[in-house]
Amino acid sequence: MKVLIVDDEVIIRNGLSTVIQWAEHGYTVLPPAASAEEALQRIPLEMPDIIFTDIRMTGASGLDLAHEVRQHYPETEIIIISGYDEFVYAQQAMREGVSDYLLKTSRPAEIIEAANQARARIEARRQHHAKGMEQEAAVNRSFLRRLLAAGSSPDEASIAELWNRYPRLRIEAGKSLLIWLLSIQAMEQGGEASRPAESSASLGSMLAEELPCAWIEWNGALLVLARTEPGVPDPVIAAVRAWETRHGCRVLAASGRPVHEASELHIALASAEEAASYGWLLGHERSIRYEDISGRKGIRTVCTQDEEAELASLLRSGQEPALYAWIGRLIERISSDPEATPGSVQAYLHSLLIYAQRWLERAAASIGHSTPLASEEPIRFGELKISPESVLTRYLGVIMKQYGEMVSATTPVQRAIAYIHEHLGQSLSLQQVARHVHMNPNYFSEMFKKETGQNYIEFVTQAKLRKAMVLLRETPAKISEIANEIGYEDIKYFNRLFKKWTGQTPSEYRANPEFCPSMD
């Protein structure tokens, strides 16, 4: 608290300044003023909190000083310290807003007590004012949240209320409104930055003090509505980067389309949310603007057969480091694609996970399991937009583990059957399959016939034809394409073989699949 002493008697003003131990009580004493006129010139610059003044002085009186201070600086406390103990002076002093009246014969302890009481009144007023301002700000933020949550163009009454609550945001000629979504991403342990809600409020309050903007918390981020001007560096970014340095954290800033009318705020918000959705995809960027991503067309949304084969091979290998390295390369490739969008990436990764699940189901069915082992947790595909690498690592790791557990509980013949089903498009010899399950070919042949009731050639042929039947029923693929997919390049041979085992040609089966006799 700053104290100013005003008295035309040099002994009095210097004595009050030096005899009393002001600093010990938490006060800073400004150089004393020799007149009311001098004090009035210095007050706008030095802004004292408490003024001690004499009444009778050369020139304007202490009461004149009190009157002027009351008019222009009503928060300042004024204490008269006079040599006159007259009731009429006290009455007039009270009318001029003086908070206390002391005699110059008062002891230092009495003067300090008067200062302490004045300080308590100042602090109480400030707390009351701050509480009122905080409540008003909370009401304003609640209004802004409702306005934006409506998701449509606000009506004229709402726009008028917006300008009334946030007059600094009113759009002037050549300016526009811009919405920023700020996400505090990396934080220190301990301190303010370790508490996201408090950090967001701290950042929002700082921005509102320094810039013409408004803020609310929005779906885990800080939404800032700011006034901006084309061609001028955005002050929000500069302020956010300075706050980052002070608080030891990283803020991802995403902005939407600038709008020139308050009726377009829903457009500004939707475009800002779209830009923010690129957070993981453009993780190397600290600022993402809608205009930089709005032209992206997206990547393909379905994985290729080669990618499926590579993934199946990795899952079958049981080598977690190799799987995780593959996932890392995949995410790096996707994130560097200039056409990638969160939606298309989600769909693409979704297709990979669906393929992995179905691969596991087919592998389970091929060795006699009606269903694969239960998943440790259900796949939440929405997470693919937020943390795709961790989602792929978690769920593909579970599938690899399940496959390994199934294989470890099966016989060599069951493992051979699974291998056959995964390679129906190839011409697998008995020797190749026996080598895969580490068995002597002759012994493997005997064990295969004993467990399946069929010799190797019969089993493989039926497996290929069953897959052909599925493809004929469920896809529009040409018969020649289906034949190639199960390893038969000679279409005539495939047709003869299919009819021999099913009693129908492939075309007849496709037309009437329900009339086909069983191959068992």
HEC sequence for 18-75: HHCCCHHHCCEECCCECCHHHHHHHHHHHCCCEEEECCCCCCCCHHHHHHHHHHHCCC
Lowest mean pLDDT among 8-12, 18-22, 229-233: 229-233
Domain with CATH 3.30.70.270 in the chain: 153-168+175-293
Task: Quickly state the pLDDT bin for 406 (edges 50, 70, 90).
Answer: confident
Instruction: Please list, in sequence order, all residues whose beta carbon lies within 8 angstroms of the beta carbon of residue 372, skipping any fewer than 6 positions away.
Output: 360, 361, 363, 364, 402, 406
Bridge partners (DSSP) listed for residue 5 = 52
**pLDDT of 387 higher than 90:** no
Separation between Cα atoms, residue 289 and residue 480, nearest integer Å: 50
| pLDDT value of position 516 | 62
| pLDDT value of position 258 | 93
DSSP code string of 194-262: G-HHHHHHHHHHHHHHHSSEEEEEETTEEEEEEEE-TTS--HHHHHHHHHHHHHT-EEEEEE---BSSG
Per-residue pLDDT reduced to its tens digit, 150-181: 989 999 999 999 999 999 999 887 789 999 99
Helix H or strand E segment including 314: helix 305-317
7 three-state secondary structure? coil
CATH of domain 2-124: 3.40.50.2300
Per-residue pLDDT reduced to its tens digit, 266-302: 999 999 999 999 988 887 788 999 999 999 999 999 9
DSSP code string of 90-150: HHHHHHTT--EEEETT--HHHHHHHHHHHHHHHHHHHHHHHHHHHHHHHHHHHHHHHHHHT
| pLDDT value of position 87 | 53
> What percentage of residues in the chain have a pLDDT greater than 90?
44
**pLDDT of 188 higher than 50:** no
C-alpha separations of 168 from 124, 145, 314 in Å: 29, 18, 59
Helix H or strand E segment including 416: helix 412-422
Beta strands 213-218 and 221-228 are: antiparallel
Task: Quickly state the pLDDT bin for 246 (edges 50, 70, 90).
Answer: confident
**pLDDT of 435 higher than 80:** yes
**What's the 3-state SS for 357-398?**
HHHHHHHHHHCCCCCCCCCCCCCCHHHHHCCHHHHHHHHHHH
Domain with CATH 3.40.50.2300 in the chain: 2-124
| pLDDT value of position 215 | 93
| pLDDT value of position 519 | 57
Separation between Cα atoms, residue 446 and residue 346, nearest integer Å: 48
Domain with CATH 1.10.10.60 in the chain: 431-515
Instruction: Please list, in sequence order, all residues whose beta carbon lies within 8 angstroms of the beta carbon of residue 303, skipping any fewer than 6 positions away.
Output: 311, 348, 351, 352, 355
- Looking at 1.10.10.60, 3.40.190.80, 1.10.3210.10, 1.10.3720.10, the CATH number of the domain 431-515 comes to 1.10.10.60
Separation between Cα atoms, residue 55 and residue 82, nearest integer Å: 6
Of residues 305 and 94, more confidently modeled: 305
Fold of 153-168+175-293: Alpha-Beta Plaits (3.30.70)
Q: What is the pTM of this model?
A: 0.61
Please name the residue that has the structure tokens 């600093």: 23
Per-residue pLDDT reduced to its tens digit, 49-94: 999 999 888 899 888 998 999 899 999 999 988 876 655 666 666 7
**Averaged pLDDT, 456-472:** 89
Per-residue pLDDT reduced to its tens digit, 306-327: 899 899 999 988 999 999 999 9
- Specify whether the CB–CB gap between 419 and 459 falls below 8 A: no
Per-residue pLDDT reduced to its tens digit, 97-123: 787 888 888 899 999 999 999 999 999
DSSP-assigned letter for residue 454: S
Tokens at residue 333, please? 């490739």
| pLDDT value of position 233 | 77
Helix H or strand E segment including 177: strand 176-186
Closest CA to 144 of 198, 90, 195, 218: 218
Per-residue pLDDT reduced to its tens digit, 202-221: 899 899 888 889 999 998 89
Task: Quickly state the pLDDT bin for 378 (edges 50, 70, 90).
Answer: low
| Residue 254, number of CB atoms within 10 A of its CB | 26
The dihedral through the CA atoms of 378, 380, 381, 386 has a sign that is: negative
**pLDDT of 38 higher than 90:** yes
| pLDDT value of position 361 | 86
Per-chain mean pLDDT for the chain: 86
**Averaged pLDDT, 500-508:** 89
| pLDDT value of position 384 | 79
